[in-house]
């Protein structure tokens, strides 16, 4: 639901509300991992312009950037970039943000936010999260976008990172992203001592190659390196290593690195015009932990009988060794959803 102020004095301010109602049922439970709420506000914010180059935003909003197919190393406020689970399932976070665009191709923004909801063993959980983000997008036949990010606060240690993606030709795009910090989160002094929170410099990174189809679809392959991977002892704790199946709800909302293992391969296909009809769409993704051999495969079908209504059916299945984090978290899952735009 959206509303816009058209009076001269309000600077084009608008309000966006995205309520979500869920029914959730599971034949298995993971201790300490809450189920999705029956009702929540996915987003609820107001935004507008102070001048042509300045934009403000206040409320609950989801933000994403970078080339990552699975997650965004530079976006620790929302590490899931919207494709690890469907974008509609990722809830925003309460924030205030200001942006400045000195030119049409460059933007600098700063925000302060409530960083997370859930507590994690061994991690302190107080304080707000601040982030500075600068992005440049070139124009022309072979455009390039690049950005730098610095952030931290609350549970999270200060970190820096950057990303770049470049269109190689009419169909192929290459991308890379990384972040680094002196420890991932702040230890509370009680609970388990996590390897990712050691006071030493660590980094995570990804590189991917995407092929854009004439139908509007995209095929992608991505390698992920995670220097913040969990140690063997922490890997045995379900709350620390769990990865809920894609599509049920956002992967994790904890002050922990979103991926417990050190190396992953992700393959995906986004096909918005299945059978040559824009009303039908498919999302297919298969994620493999290269060390454990665990695999999570996700398939989502969508159908839009009208422009303002879309129905979804999603299915998840895991394969591989029973003790791998991907398989141990959830063996299978299915969900149905409907979106109505007003």
Q: Which residue is listed with tokens 């665990």?
A: 294
What is the per-residue DSSP string for 89-131? G---EEEEEEEEEEETTEEEEEEEE---SS--TTB---S-EEE
Residue 144 CA, distance from chain mean position? 22
The three-class DSSP label of residue 340 is strand
Question: Is residue 172 very low, low, confident or very high in pLDDT (cuts 50, 70, 90)?
Answer: very high
Q: From CA 220, how far away is CA 208, in angstroms rounded?
A: 7
Domain residue extents for the chain: 2-103+198-340
- For residue 289, what pLDDT band results from cuts at 50, 70 and 90? very high
The two beta strands, 295-306 and 280-289, are antiparallel
In tens, the pLDDT along 221-264 reads 999 999 999 888 877 776 676 665 454 445 567 788 888 899 99
d(CA 254, CA 116): 6
Phi, psi of 232 (to 5 degrees): -60, -40
d(CA 116, CA 76): 10
For 20-47, the pLDDT digits (tens) are: 877 766 655 555 555 667 788 889 999 9
């Amino acid at each position: 639901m959206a509303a816009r102020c058209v009076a001269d004095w309000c600077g084009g301010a608008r309000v966006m509300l995205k309520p979500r109602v869920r029914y959730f049922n599971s034949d298995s439970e993971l201790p300490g991992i809450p189920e999705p709420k029956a009702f929540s506000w996915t987003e609820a914010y107001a935004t507008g312009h102070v001048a042509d180059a300045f934009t403000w935003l206040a409320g609950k909003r989801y933000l994403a950037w970078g080339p990552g197919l699975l997650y965004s190393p530079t976006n620790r406020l929302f590490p899931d970039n919207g494709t690890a689970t469907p974008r509609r399932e990722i809830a925003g976070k309460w924030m205030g943000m200001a942006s400045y665009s000195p030119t049409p191709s460059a933007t600098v923004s700063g925000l302060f936010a409530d960083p997370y909801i859930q507590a994690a063993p061994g991690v302190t959980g107080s304080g707000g999260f601040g982030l500075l983000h600068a992005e440049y997008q070139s124009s022309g036949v072979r455009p390039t976008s690049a950005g730098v990010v610095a952030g931290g606060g609350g549970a999270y240690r200060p970190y820096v990172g950057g990303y770049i993606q470049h269109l190689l030709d009419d169909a192929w795009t290459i991308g890379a992203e990384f972040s680094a910090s002196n420890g991932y989160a702040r230890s509370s002094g009680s609970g388990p001592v996590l390897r990712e929170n050691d006071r030493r410099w660590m980094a995570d990174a990804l590189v991917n190659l995407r092929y854009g189809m004439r139908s509007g679809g995209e095929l992608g392959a991505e390698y992920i390196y995670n220097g913040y991977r969990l140690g063997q002892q922490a890997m045995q704790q379900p709350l620390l290593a769990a990865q809920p199946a894609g599509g049920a709800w956002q992967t994790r909302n904890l002050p922990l690195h979103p991926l417990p293992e050190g190396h992953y391969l992700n393959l995906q296909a986004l096909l918005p015009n299945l059978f040559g009809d824009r009303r039908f769409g498919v999302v297919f993704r298969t994620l493999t932990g290269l060390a454990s051999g665990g695999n999570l495969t996700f398939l989502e079908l969508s159908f839009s009988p009208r422009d303002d209504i879309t129905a979804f059916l999603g299915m998840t299945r895991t394969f591989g060794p029973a003790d791998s984090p991907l398989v141990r978290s959830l063996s299978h899952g299915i969900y149905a959803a409907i979106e109505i735009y007003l």
